[in-house]
């Protein structure tokens, strides 16, 4: 492996870690909404869908 491959791999890995700020709250919201009786996953998606319009494409897909 040359240094450009290692540099590219580290850049991609660090870019993927930049979305933790949205992944952690999304998981916590999913746990809370899943604990509510009668509230399914599709209800949570319907409620959170308008929030994705304010994000860029990658962040909205992570959510």
DSSP 51: G
Is the Cβ–Cβ distance between 26 and 63 less than 8 Å? yes
Per-residue pLDDT band for 63 (boundaries 50, 70, 90) equals confident
Q: How far apart are CA 40 and CA 26, in angstroms?
A: 15
How high is the pLDDT of residue 28?
A: 92
Q: Torsions phi, psi of 18, nearest 5?
A: -75, -10
Question: CA-to-CA distance for 20 and 45, rounded, in angstroms?
Answer: 19
> pLDDT for 1-45, tens place per residue?
567 888 888 887 777 777 888 888 888 988 998 898 988 888 888
Element (H, E) at 26: helix 20-35
């Amino acid at each position: 492996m040359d240094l450009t491959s290692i540099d590219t791999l580290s850049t991609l890995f660090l870019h993927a870690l930049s979305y933790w700020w949205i992944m952690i709250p999304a998981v916590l919201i999913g746990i809370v909404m899943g604990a509510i009786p009668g509230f399914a996953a599709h209800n949570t998606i319907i409620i959170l869908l308008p929030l994705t319009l304010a994000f860029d494409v990658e962040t909205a897909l992570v959510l």
